[in-house]
Amino acid sequence: MHKHLDKFWTLILLGLIVRLALCFWTGHPWDFEVFIRVGYYVAKGSSLFGIYPAESYYNEGLGQPIFPYVTGLGYLPAWGLYTALTYKIYSLLPVSPFFYYFLLKLAPMLGDLASTQLIYSLTRIVTGKVEKARLNALTFFLCPFIILVSAVWGMFDSIPLAFTLASALLLLLDKPFLSGLCLGMGIYIKVVPIIYLPIHMLYLSSKRDVREALIHLLTALLVPFILTMVPLVYFGWETSKAAITIFSQTQRTGEVLTYWNLSALLNDLFPFSSGMLNEVFSFPLVRYFWVLGLIVGYLLYHKLQKSSSEPQSLSLPLKGHLLATIGFLLTRTFIPEQFVLYLAPLIIVQAKGWRSEKSLGWMHVWVSALTFTFINLYPFAFAYLINPEFWRTFSYLASTKPYSSVRYFARFITALLFDLLLVKILCGMVRSREESA
Amino acid sequence: MKKVLNLLRDKKVHYVVIVWVLLIKVVEIIAELLANIELLHFFELLGFGYLSTTSRIVWDALVAITIIWLVYRLAKDTFQISLGIRQLSKRALLTTILLLVWTASSVTAVLQFAQALSLPPASPQLEISRYYAPCNTANGGLATYFTINDAEQGANVTLDLSKSVFSNAFSSYEIGEISMFGVKDGGLSYFSLKDSQMGQKMIEMKFFGNGTDGLDGWFANKIQLEEPLKVNENTTLILLLKLEPSSDNTAWTYIKLDFLSADNEKYSLVWKFHDTPINSMLYSTDKKMKMYLLGSSVEWTFFQFNLQNVFYTSFSIHPKILTCIEYGVGAEADNIVTVHFLLAKISDCPLKVNGELVESVKPTLKLDDSGILFEGANVSRLYATSTLKPCKKEKHFQLFLTKISRFEKYEWSLPEHHQEVEKQIRFNSINNSTRIFLNGREVISKTRVFELSAYEPLALQDEVTLTVVNEVDTYLMPIISILLIPPLALCLWKTFKSKEKMESAYAAFYF
C-alpha cells in the first residue's frame, strides 16, 4: 500500500465504490431485519421501546419473512430514530425497498469515512507524518472487516467510533468540553464508548485539573441523558421499558467473539448442561466480570500515565482507550464482532509501521475477527435480502449435527485465538512500559 | 506460571478483586433498594433476585469471605498482623485442601442423592367422571341400580349428588301462601321450579330486599298439604341445597314442617341454614316450635333428618301427621339472596347407597359386583367419578453431569367412548420445579389437579402417557468427588509413605 499512497483519494473512492456496490442488497439476517422492521414501526408511530404485535412483525415487501417476529433494539433512541427517519424518506419516494436498505447503511458508511478522517488527523498529531497518516487512514478504510461490518452487515458502530475518535482528538487539542460533547454523542448512539470516560478523566486530571475533568464527565453523561429523555417525553414512550431494554444488555450469556462462547459448544455437545451453564452465566461475578476487566484497564493506564516520561504525551489517551477496550473485550461474556471496530484505530494509529511492526498488529486482529464472522454466519447468508433460502441453508447447517458441532468448535477456536491476540497485545504494551520505565 | 503466581500474591491484585466483588454487592443493594420505588421497578434487572438457592448461598458466602479478606488485608498492611500455616509442608497443605474439598463435595453429593431419593412421589391418578343411566329400578322407583363400567371391582367411586338428576325430588313445590317483609316491589322476590343447565329440576327462591340496612326481611311460601303425610319411624327429610352468600353475612333459608301430634296439637320443626358457620337451636316461647340453626350452606350441602327422631328429641312425643311445608329465604333488606333446592323430599326411607346412609354431597364407596344401589330417592342420571388404574408404571433415576432426575412414567388405556367423559389428573405431590409430560408433550400445571380436556388433541387419544420428572441440581458435585479420589489417594499414599520412612529412620537410629 506504501506504493500507492500518492493515489490516496483514488483509493478512498475505491473504498466508497466497494461499499456502495455491496450495501443495498446485503444485511445481517437478524440485526438488519430488526433495523428494517423497527424503522417501519417507529415511523408508523409505535414506541421504540414497546412490544409490537407479533402478527405484524413482518411487513410484506420489507426485509424477508425469515423470522416471524424479532425483538426491539437494545440501544438508546438514536439509532431507532434514524431507522424511522430513513423509512419516512423511503416512504415518500416511489422507489424499491433496496433504497431503504441503502439509506439504513448510509450512516454507518459515512461513519467509516468520518473515522478514516479522524484516524488521519490523530496520526498526524501523534506522529507528525503525513505519509503515516495517509497509510493509517487507508489501512482502516480499505480493511475488509470494516467494509463488512458497515456496508454488508449494516451495523452502525463506526458512528459512535467516529464520535469517540473526535472526542480523543479534541482532548489532545485541549478542548475538554467539546470532547465531552462528542463522547456523549458516541454514548448516545451506542453505550459502549462510556468505557473511555474514566480514561479521559484520568488524562484531564493529570494534564489540566479536576474541575475540567468533572465538566467533561458531566457533559459526556448529560448529552445522552437529555437526548434520550426528549423523545421519551415527546412521544410518550415508557421510560421503564427504555431502561429495561438498556439494562438487559448487562446480562447477556456467553456468546460470539469471546472464549465464553465455549458455553454454546458445551450446550451443543451436552444439551442437558444448559441449566448449569445458565447458572454460571447468571452468577454475579461472571455477569460483571467486565467490571474487573475495566478496573484493571484503568489501573494499568493510571500506572502508565504516572510512569510516562512525558505525562502529557499525545498518544497516552489512545493507549488508555486500547487498555480499556482490551480489558472489556477479554472479560465481557457477550462480545459481538462489531466491537472489534473500537480496537482498529487504536492499534492502527499506534503501530510503528505497516509490515515493519514485529509485534502483532491490526491485520492479525481483523483476519481472526473476519474468520470468526464467516464461521459464525456463513458469508452467503448476508445475501438473505435477495433470497431467503440463503438464510435457510445457513440455518439448517447451523442447527443440524454434525455441522453445528463443527461450527461451534471452530467458533470457539477462532474466538480463543482472537483473545490470545488481545492478550499478546496487552502483554506487549505492559512490557514496553516496563522497558521504557 | 511463576509470574501469574507472583501476580496473585500481589496485594494490589487482592485489593482490586476485593473492590470488584464489593462493588457488585453495592450494585445489587442499590438495585434492590431502587426497585422498591414504584417508578423505578426496572432496576430489578440489575439485581440478582433470579439466583437459585445454591448460587445465592455461594454468592453470599463469597461476599462474606471478601469482607473477611479485606479486614485481614487491612490488618496485615496497617498493623502487620499476619496469620500463616508455616508448619505444614507443601504436600501436606495440598493433601489437606484436597481432603477438605473432597469431603465437602462428597457430603454435598450424598445429601443431593438423599434429597432425590426422598422426593415424595407424584402418584398421579386419572379420574374419569361421567353420567350413568340406571340399569334397573325397584321398590316403587325408590331403589335404583347402576353399573359403573369404567372402574374395576374394589375401586373407589365418588358420586356427586349436586350434578346428578333426581326424579320426584320435591314433596311439594306449589305456590301456597306467600308472606314477605322488607322486599322490593315488582315481583322481584319469588318461588319457582326451574331447570338447571344439567337437566335437573330445582326450586329457586329469591329474596330481593328493599335496600334498608339493618332491617331483617324475608320471603316465604307456605304449602298446606292436601293429603297430610303419615310420619313413621323411617320418614326422612332429605335436603340438598345451596344458598348464595350475602354481602354482610345475614342470609339464611329455612324449611319449616308443621305436624299434628296424636292429640292433634300443632308442632313445628324448622331447619334454618345460614351463609356463615353456625350450629345452634331455639325453642319458641310456647315450646311448640323448635328451630335448628345450621351453616354454612354456601356450597351444595346435603342433609337428611329422621323426622320421628328429631320430633321426639324436640318435644318428647311422637308426631302423627305432617300437614304443612314452608320454604323461606331472607337477609337484611339491603341484600339479594337466592337459594336452590335440588332435593327437598319427605321420603319413606333415608337416602342410602349400597346400604350405607348418605352423609355428604359427594359420598365415596367401594365398588363391588352388584354395582351401585340407590335407595330413598329416584335417581334418573347419576354422576360418578372413578379412578382408572394405570396399566403400566415405571420409576427410574438418571444421573446427569449437573443433576439427578427422577422419572415417573404412567400409562392408562382409556375406556370406550371416553371422549364424552370428563377426565382429570390428580397429583399427590408436585412442586414448582416438577416437569410434566403428557403424551410426550410438556404441559404446565401449577396445581395438583388439571383437566385433560384442556389439552384437546391429547384428550382425544385412546391412551394417556404421563411422565413426571423431578430434578435435583448436583452442580458437578458427584463428578468432582469421584475425580478427586485418585489425586487424594496419591497424596495420602505419599504422605503415609514418607511418614513410614521417617518412622523407620527413627527406629534405625534408636536401635
The predicted structure's pLDDT at residue B42: 81
Task: Check: CB of residue B250 under 8 Å from CB of residue B335.
Answer: yes
Alpha carbon distance B232, B255 (integer Å): 20
CB contact under 8 A, B475 and A276: yes
pLDDT cut 90: percent of chain B above it: 26
Q: Which of B236, B246, B203 is CA-nearest to residue B221?
A: B203
* B-chain residues near A279 (CB < 8 A): 52, 54-55, 473, 475
Of A56-60, A201-205, B277-281, the poorest mean pLDDT is in: A56-60
Residue-level pLDDT at B164: 92
Question: What Cα–Cα distance (Å) separates residue B332 from each residue in B44, B170, B247, B249?
Answer: 49, 28, 10, 9
Average pLDDT score over residue span B481-490 = 89
% pLDDT > 70, chain B = 91
Q: Is residue A183 predicted with pLDDT exceeding 50?
A: yes
How many C-alpha atoms does B86 have within 13 Å on its Cβ side?
3
3-state SS, B313-345, equals HHHCCCEEEEEEEEEEEEEECCCEEEEEEEEEE
pLDDT (tens digit per residue) in A5-45? 678 899 999 999 999 999 999 999 999 999 998 898 888 88
Alpha carbons B222 and B205: distance in angstroms, whole number: 13
Is the predicted pLDDT of residue B452 greater than 80, yes or no? no
**Is A177 part of the contact surface with chain B (CB cutoff 8 Å)?**
no
Cα-trace Rg, chain A? 22
Do A186 and A164 contact (CB within 8 A), yes or no?
yes
Q: What is the pLDDT of residue A312?
A: 58
Instruction: For residue B45, give the nearest of A248, A276, A279 by CB distance.
Output: A248
Phi, psi of B291 (to 5 degrees): -115, 125
Average pLDDT over residues B327-331: 94
In chain A, the residue whose alpha carbon lies closest to the alpha carbon of B18 is: A292
| CA atoms lying within 13 Å on the CB side of residue A314 | 15
Nearest by CB to residue A296, choosing from B16, B42, B58, is: B16
Confidence of residue B459 (pLDDT cuts 50, 70, 90): low
- State chain B's mean pLDDT as an integer: 84
What does the pLDDT look like over B83-105, one tens digit per residue? 665 566 777 778 888 888 888 88
Alpha-carbon gap, residue A346 to A122, rounded angstroms: 10
Q: What mean pLDDT do residues B432-441 have?
A: 82
B41-B44-B46 Cα angle (round to 5): 135
Beta-sheet pairing, B266-274 with B289-295: parallel
pLDDT tens digit string along B300-314? 999 999 999 999 998
Phi then psi for residue B423, to 5 deg, are -125, 135
> B26: which residues sit within 8 A by CB, 6+ positions away?
none
Does the beta carbon of A282 lie under 8 angstroms from any beta carbon of chain B? yes
Tell the residue number behind the cell numbers 415518500, with chain if given: A92
A276 to B62: CB separation less than 8 angstroms, yes or no: no
Residue A359: pLDDT band by 50, 70, 90 thresholds?
very low
Chain-chain contact of B402 with A250 (C-beta, under 8 angstroms): no
- Which helix or strand (DSSP H or E) is residue B273 part of? strand B266-274
Of the options 2.60.120, 3.30.2310, 2.60.40, 3.40.120, the CATH number for the domain spanning B170-349: 2.60.120
Q: How far is CA A148 from CA A338, A339, A341, B158, B285, in A?
A: 10, 13, 11, 71, 101
| Banded pLDDT at A360 (limits 50, 70, 90) | low
pLDDT over 80 (residue B39):
no
User: Hey, are the CB atoms on A276 and B20 less than 8 Å from each other?
Assistant: no
Percent of chain A with pLDDT over 70: 92
Contact A258, A419 (CB under 8 A): yes
A207: pLDDT strictly greater than 90: no
Mean pLDDT of B330-353: 92
Residues with Cβ within 8 Å of residue B103, at least 6 apart in sequence: none
How does residue A355 score in pLDDT terms, banded at 50, 70 and 90?
Answer: very low
**Is the bond preceding B319 in cis, omega lying within 30 degrees of 0?**
no
Element (H, E) at B21: helix B11-35
Secondary structure (3-state) at B145: strand
Choose between A76 and B114: higher pLDDT: A76
Among chain A residues, the shortest Cα distance to B474 is held by A276
Nearest C-alpha neighbor of A301 from the set A179, A161, A204, A370: A204
What is the residue whose three cell numbers read 440485526? A31
For range A173-177, the mean pLDDT:
90
Q: Give yes or no for A45 touching B (CB within 8 A).
A: no
CB contact under 8 A, B403 and A275: yes
Contact A283 B20 (CB under 8 A): no
- The residue of chain B with its CA nearest to that of A285 is B21
Nine cell digits for residue B435 = 416437569
Mention every residue, 6+ apart, whose C-beta is less than 8 A from residue A390. A380, A381, A382, A383, A384
Give the pLDDT confidence score for residue A356 in this predicted structure.
40
Cβ contact, residue pair B403, A240, below 8 Å: no
Among A204-218, A310-324, B16-30, B172-186, which is the least confidently predicted range? A310-324
Among B50, B59, B400, beta carbon nearest to A272: B400
Gap from B61 CA to chain A (nearest CA, Å): 13
> CA B286, B292, B293: angle at the middle one, nearest 5?
120
| A 228-257 near B (Cβ less than 8 A) | 239-241, 243-244, 247-248, 250-251
CA pair distance A41, A273, nearest whole angstrom: 38
Chain B residues within an 8 Å CB radius of A283 = 51, 55, 58-59
Total Cβ atoms within 10 A of residue B7: 10
A276 contacts chain B (CB < 8 A)? yes
pLDDT of residue A308: 76
CA distance A302 to A170: 20
Q: Mean pLDDT throughout A112-123?
A: 94
Chain B residues within 8 A of A296 when measuring between CB atoms: 16
State how far residue B19 is from chain A, nearest Cα, in angstroms: 9
Q: Which residue of A has its CA nearest to B477?
A: A276
- Does B213 score more than 80 pLDDT? yes
| Residue scoring higher pLDDT (B227 or A158) | A158
**Interchain proximity B24–A296, CB inside 8 Å:** no
**Cβ neighbour number for residue A423 with a 10 Å cutoff:** 12
Q: Where are the domains of chain B?
A: 2-83, 87-118+477-511, 125-129+389-473, 131-163+355-388, 170-349
| pLDDT tens digits for range A264-296 | 888 888 876 677 777 888 888 998 999 999 999
CA atoms within 13 A on the CB side of B72: 12
Q: Which residue has the higher pLDDT, B427 or B325?
A: B325
Pairs of CB atoms within 8 A across A/B? 74
ipTM of this complex prediction, to 2 decimal places? 0.85
User: With 70 as the cut, is the pLDDT of residue A366 above it?
Assistant: yes
Which H, E and C letters describe chain A, residue by residue?
CHHHHHHHHHHHHHHHHHHHHHHCCCCCCCHHHHHHHHHHHHHCCCCCCCCCCHHHCCCCCCCCCCCCCCCCCCCCHHHHHHHHHHHHHHHHCCCCHHHHHHHHHHHHHHHHHHHHHHHHHHHHHHHCCHHHHHHHHHHHHCCHHHHHHHHHHCCCCHHHHHHHHHHHHHHHCCCHHHHHHHHHHHHHHCCHHHHHHHHHHHHHHHHCCHHHHHHHHHHHHHHHHHHHHHHHHHHCCCHHHHHHHHHHHHHCCCEECCHHHHHHHHHHHCHHHHHHHHHHHHCHHHHCHHHHHHHHHHHHHHHHHHHCCCCCCCCHHHHHHHHHHHHHHHHCCEECHHHHHHCHHHHHHHCCCCCCCCCCCHHHHHHHHHHHHHHHCCHHHHHCCCCHHHHHHHHHHHHCCCHHHHHHHHHHHHHHHHHHHHHHHHHHHHHHHHHHC
